[in-house]
Structure 1
Amino acid sequence: MKTFSIDEAQSLLPLLESLLKRAIDGKNAAKEIESQLVELGRRIYLAGGMRVNVADVGRQRTEMDAHLQRVRESVAEIDAIGVQVKDVDTGLLDFPCRVDDQVVLLCWRMGETAIEHWHTIEDGFNGRQPVDERFRRRSNSSNRPN
């Protein structure tokens, strides 16, 4: 498992924020199209049927699939870096970090200016604690197997 120092994780934030924004925008665009399609289905049901431009509906579905593909690709790029996507909607990321012979997770959420929190793997987001001096002393990343 790749682990990051706080400096390494911090240096990745501009790239990761860009990838997250692309994923969030894609997810929102896909949701909007899905809502339009659901509304169309509701209108068809309430009217007892109606003429539908099948080509337009097909185009919307294709567009929705393209947005969802961008979401998957963005998340896959983040994952390939070794960073864990915990929640696309809030832009929540975890960076594995080795400190005191234990792997913990540096925790960052879109909108935060820096990585200032960490938590154990078991405690998750609710167990977030402020980053302390132990993390600042660690300067090298490692690729130790699990």
Structure 2
Amino acid sequence: MELDESEKTAWIFKSGWKGLCPHCGKGKMFKSWLKVVDRCDVCGLDYRFASPDDGPAFFSLTFVAFPLLFLIVWMQVALELPVVLLFVIAIPLMGLGCVLPLRPIKGWLVASQYVNRSVEAGTEKLWGDMHAREDEKRGRDED
């Protein structure tokens, strides 16, 4: 089943935002706050392909922290709040504002990697060899 671009985008956002398996849409993508499961418990999708790395933190800082920082600076300049009150407002606002979107952003990145079949250029053979060794070791451990 091949999806067109708008369907791909909608599927990536839906499965990523809800933390669902990008293959079947039923299994859970996360086993804890930001830890991706090893395999989907419904369809068996192997999540070894998932490597969002620092992407969630980058997007959270870019699209959340910078606008919040400008809001806090504006509050200080326009309202002339006492520094203590400004910290009481700013620290929880920045903390929650940056941490809460991490999971949906990570889900979006993992789903995007799966749907678009993204791999780092030139590493296909390396990943294949590494996964073959992992599978071989896992097979020996199960015996």
Given the two structures, how large is their TM-score scaled by the length of structure 1?
Answer: 0.33
Give TM-score scaled by structure 2 length: 0.33
Looking at secondary structure, tell me which structure has more helix per residue. 2
